[in-house]
Amino acid sequence: MAAAVRPRYRAMVILAACTGMRWSEIAGLTLDHINWHAHTATVDRQLERNATTPVFTPPKSKAGIRTLPLPTLAITELLRHLSQYSLGPAGLLFTTRPTRY
């Protein structure tokens, strides 16, 4: 599936496959929620759909707040993504296009 999507979204697909994160959690991921040394991502919020500006909301339940391990494949894809695309508003790793927000 990662090979079938646009390169801009490849890291999102890899991250979902490696961690089980929901789309809104991945869409709301910011650089400060990744611990590069520990190879983990902290999930404590999600991006609200249809927002015209980034709006973060809590996960669906308290169990949704968690720290997930990031395998080497996910780290590699995130680093590749960051080398090719700039951060979005509020430090979002993934945006549909640079001028969306």
- Domains of the chain by residue range: 7-91
Residue 58 is predicted with a pLDDT of 93
For 7-91, CATH gives: 1.10.443.10
- pLDDT tens for the chain, 101 residues long, are 778 888 899 999 999 999 999 999 999 999 999 999 999 999 999 998 776 788 999 988 889 999 999 999 999 999 999 999 999 988 999 987 654 43
Residue 60 is predicted with a pLDDT of 84
The number of beta carbons lying within 10 Å of the beta carbon of residue 43 is 20
CA distances from 41 to 6, 28, 51, 86 (A): 23, 12, 23, 19
User: For the chain, what is the total number of helices (H) and then of strands (E)?
Assistant: 3, 5
Record the tokens describing residue 28, joined without a space. 């709301």
Q: Do 94 and 88 contact (CB within 8 A), yes or no? A: yes
- pTM of the full structure: 0.86
Residue 100 is predicted with a pLDDT of 41
pLDDT (tens digit per residue) in 18-38? 999 999 999 999 999 999 999
Residue 67 is predicted with a pLDDT of 97
